[in-house]
Structure 1
Amino acid sequence: MNRPDRWRRAAIALLATFAFNSYAADTLPTIELSAQGTAIAANDLARADAYFEASANEPAAVARAVNQAIAAALAIAKPYTTVSVKTGSTSTWPIYSTPSSSGRNNQTITGWRMRSHLALESTDIAALSRLIGELQSTLAIGSLQLMPAPTTLRAANDAATREALKAFEARAQLVTETLGRKYRLKALSINEQGGPMPMFRGAAMAEMAVKAAPVEAGDSTVSVHVNGTIELID
């Protein structure tokens, strides 16, 4: 056998070995595992929506009333330096007359209604609660939401992720040691999920106004789910 033939045979054998190893690697037995980690995050951030609504016969009159109320609210909020106060959306819509008993569509515009919002936010929940108490003499509070601040939520997510990954690793070791095999990681996904956050609306906000009760922020539970696939190897 001449040298070129030997080289060709060696190359074919090498390719066959590579193809077999690739096929074997692709057909390794796999196991899907999941694990979860949780962490507690303090609800140290509060957001509230306050608004003023008025009606008048003329658009200019209703705008003047709303603007005066919002300006007064901003003046009340100014000393609260730890509370962020921003003007929100403003909407105006017509008020129509009641349809006649004959059923004819002869409604006319009899007035105008306008609503303007203020967005309140602070990590000083006690100060925000006091400000809401003052504003409720003229403004309505549409909602109050308590949640972890971004830095607090990030720290809780990191802690929950570490716990979930350690739990996944422990589960993988348990399974493979029981089977008398080793493993390598093939795929892994991490999903974060926050727990429900306290939200006060409508009647609950009215009750808070009457009682002037302090806000109990509480905590939120942050969950991280890890799903992955491991390959069993010798």
Structure 2
Amino acid sequence: MQTKLIKNSKTPALIQRAFYSTLLAASLLGLSAPAALADTDKPQYRLVQLQADATRDVTNNQMEAVLFTELNSNSPTSLAQDVTRTLNEAMRQAAKYPQVKVSTGAQSTYPIYDDKNKLKGWRARAQIELKSTDFKATSDLIAALQDKMQVQSINFSVSDDERKRVENELMVEASQAFQQRARLLQQSWQANGYELVSLDLNAMNNERPPIMYAMKARDAAASMESQNVQGGNSQLRVNASGSVQLR
């Protein structure tokens, strides 16, 4: 069998044309890449950094208290039993005040040594934590517990639900204040408008520090029974910071 080779006179021209087309496309691509990078690196003119705040004084509607018991014993076993008995009694008392949320706090037991570094006994400390928006019920419960426990601290704050509600409103106010400042700059610089580039919203607060107590149980109980609890205020603040570009 004889095989014939058929030559096409147009084949070299087609190959040459395809080669030059590919070369031209590569050249154009190489030229466009630096141009794209140049656009990315182009300086951002008329870019302005801004800040605005929205604040509000909010009544502290939540009361938190930490009470503790501290006992000594020569036996760690009997000491643990005494602490457990005290905490259980506190929980039974707290059950009479359903408006108050009660939880057990930190507990610790450690040895006591004399001047000659000889073990002479054991000491245990246990805490319970109270939290409520009912100040009267919380104060009454504290007074009822102080025949066996002492007050470590009392703190007043804004409850989580109230804080979220106020912060949501302050975010809107801070955003509006930010926009107002942007419009003032737009007018001052005689710009046609502005575009928001970035914006951060951060919530902050300034609450009262906790009131620390160091009274004996009997003295503290007498004091708490006649105490008129006032929670005071906390200042909630939302800060809006970001940048705009004037057109």
TM-score by length of 2: 0.78
Per the TM alignment, residue 69 of structure 1 is displaced from its structure 2 partner at its CA by: 1.6
Structure 2 counterpart of 1:216 = 230
**Cα deviation digits, residues 126-184 of structure 1 (max 9, x gap):** 10111011111210111111111111000111122111111111111011112110211
**Does the C-alpha gap of structure 1 residues 46 and 58 become closer, same or farther in structure 2, counting only changes over 3 Å?**
same
1:59-208 to structure 2, matched below 5 A, reads 59-99=76-116, 107-181=117-191, 182-203=193-214
Gapped runs of 5+ residues in structure 2?
A: 1-20
Q: Which amino acid aligns with 2:53?
A: Q
In structure 2, the residue matched to 1:103 is none
Distance 1:183 1:35 in 2: 17
Which of 47, 53, 67 is the aligned partner of 1:36?
A: 53
Would the aligned equivalents of 1:164 and 1:224 in 2 still touch at CA under 8 Å?
yes
- Identify the residue that residue 104 of structure 1 maps to in structure 2: none
Tell me, in whole angstroms, the C-alpha distance in 1 between the residues paired with 2:73 and 2:181: 68
SS at match of 2:98: coil
TM, length-normalised to structure 1:
0.82
- Paired residues in the alignment total 217
- Identical positions, percent: 28
CA distance in 1, matches of 2:221, 2:186: 59
Q: How far apart in 2 are the matches of 1:46 and 1:92?
A: 29
Consecutive unaligned residues in structure 1, runs of 5 or more = 100-106
SS in 2 for 1:174: helix
SS at match of 1:216: coil
CA offsets, 1:50-87, max 9 Å, x none? 11111011112222222222222122111101111122
Distance 1:56-1:175 versus aligned 2 partners, 3 A rule: same
Displacement of 1:204 after TM fit? 8.2
On the 8 A contact 2:151/2:220 being kept in 1, the answer is no
| Larger of the two Rg values belongs to structure | 2
The structure-2 alpha-carbon separation of the partners of 1:114 and 1:21, relative to structure 1 and needing over 3 Å to count, comes to closer
CA drift of 1:27 comes to: 2.9
